[in-house]
Structures are given as C-alpha cells and as structure tokens.
C-alpha cells in the first residue's frame, strides 16, 4: 500500500514537471510567433494548449483517485492537495502562452510589438522560461534552497514590466493607443506567467517546511499593478 502510494505520488510529481516543460515550450513558441508575426506557429501554440489542459485533467483525476483509494493523511494528504494547486497554476500558465499566441494571430500580418519593445519582450520570455524551469527543478527535487534565487529572477520580471510601462508613457512613444493597449496586456501575461511560477515554488516550500513563506501572505502583491507601475 505504502509503496503503491509512493509510486503514485512520484508519477504525479513527474507529471507536474512535464507540465513545466510543456508550458515553457508553449511560451517559447508563442514568443517566437509574436516577434516574427508567424501565424502558423501561433496557431500551433493555440492548438497545443489542449494537451496541457488534458495533462492537467488527468493529473487531477489521479490525485482525486489516490485520495479516494489510499485515504492519505498529514503530509501525504497535503502533497496531493498541493499537486492539484500546482497543476492549476501550470494550466493557467499554458493559457497565458495561448493568450500571447492569440494576440499574435489577431494582428497578423502585422507585428504586435512596436519600436523599442521587442528586446524587452524577448528578455521577458527568457526570464519567464527560466522561472518555470526553476519551478520544475524545485518540484522534482523538493529543492527549497533554490527558491530565493527564483524570487530574484522574478524581480527581474517585475523590473521588465515596469520598463514596458515607462516606454509606453515616454514622450517619444509614437505608436498610438492600440499598440500601447496590446503591450499592456502582453506585459501582464508574461508577468502573471512568472507569478504562477513563484506560486508553485512557494507551495513546495509549504510542503517541505509546513510553513507558508512570509511573503506569501501577500503573494498577490507580486502581481499588483501599483507595485510595478512607476506612474505614481
């Protein structure tokens, strides 16, 4: 019984790590499509999101099944509950990658990003992919020691988000309101993608230590517009 349970948990953990790979790939391809106005690639990202949703559904069904059959308590129970929350984060990250692809498709054959924004979003995507890769390693190894570094990486995401707003609000922004609206939404998608990676890391901390990280009480602050907009 115990061995079966351990195997089930390992399988679920492996599936979560697989989901980090799928969402990373999705965002990578969505960003390439965005930067090159590649309609075909955008369509591929949109279709591939169904796979992420299915993996999530399968993972959650298994977790509920294990709950019902094995009746875990204490740490074992917490692990399953947290796995379901992490799968929810990862599914949402897939949705955000799809949002990037859909905006790409909407503006095709034009590029969505104007002027100085391209390098910023190139970097945002790299940071976002670093974040989800770190989250995957943290899940795989229960590596809570790696969490502070992930938070530092997320700080760079927040700084990039601020930089986008500064660019849109600069006197020499000459690309109009539509391009500014698009960049606002895109910037929020990438930032939220990063926030979900942070959330996953914090759930692992909770599992390993039994304590929510101090920061988590205000985890939503990390994604708060008034923290990242230098507009006050």
Task: Judge contact between 220 and 154, C-beta under 8 A.
Answer: no
Nearer to its own copies, 4 or 225 (CB): 225
Instruction: State the nearest-atom distance from the C-beta of 6 to its own copies, in Å.
Output: 18
Instruction: State the nearest-atom distance from the C-beta of 162 to its own copies, in Å.
Output: 13
Q: What does the alpha-carbon distance between residue 112 and residue 100 come to, in Å, rounded to a whole number?
A: 10
Q: What does the alpha-carbon distance between residue 121 and residue 224 come to, in Å, rounded to a whole number?
A: 19
CA atoms within 13 A on the CB side of 169: 11
Nearer to its own copies, 123 or 175 (CB): 175
* Cα dihedral 34, 39, 44, 45 in deg (nearest 10): 20
> Where on the chain is the footprint of its own copies (CB under 8 A)?
53, 64, 67-68, 71, 73-74, 77-78, 81, 84-85, 88, 95, 98-99, 102-103, 105-107, 165, 168-169, 173, 177-178, 180-181, 184-185, 188, 217, 220, 224-226, 229, 231-232
Instruction: State the nearest-atom distance from the C-beta of 69 to its own copies, in Å.
Output: 8
Instruction: State the nearest-atom distance from the C-beta of 2 to its own copies, in Å.
Output: 16
Tell me the two tokens of residue 91: 């599914």
């Amino acid at each position: 019984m115990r061995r079966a349970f351990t195997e089930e948990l390992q399988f679920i953990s492996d599936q979560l790590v697989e989901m980090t790979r799928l969402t990373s790939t999705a965002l990578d391809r969505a960003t390439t499509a965005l930067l090159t106005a590649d309609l075909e690639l955008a369509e591929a990202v949109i279709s591939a999101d169904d796979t992420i949703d299915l993996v999530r559904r399968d993972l959650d069904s298994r977790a509920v099944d294990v709950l019902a059959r094995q009746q875990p308590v204490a740490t074992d129970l917490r692990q399953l509950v947290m796995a379901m929350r992490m799968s929810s984060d990862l599914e949402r990250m897939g949705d955000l990658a799809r949002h990037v692809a859909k905006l790409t498709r909407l503006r095709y054959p034009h590029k969505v990003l104007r002027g100085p924004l391209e390098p910023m979003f190139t970097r945002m995507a790299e940071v976002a992919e670093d974040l989800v890769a770190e989250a995957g390693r943290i899940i795989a190894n229960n590596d809570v020691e790696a969490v502070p570094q992930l938070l530092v990486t997320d700080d760079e995401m927040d700084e990039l988000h601020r930089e986008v707003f500064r660019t849109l609000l600069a006197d020499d922004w000459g690309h109009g309101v539509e391009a500014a609206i698009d960049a606002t939404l895109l910037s929020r998608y990438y930032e939220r993608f990063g926030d979900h990676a942070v959330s996953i890391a914090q759930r692992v901390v909770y599992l390993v230590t039994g304590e929510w990280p101090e920061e988590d009480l205000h985890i939503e602050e990390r994604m708060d517009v008034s923290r990242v907009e230098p507009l006050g």
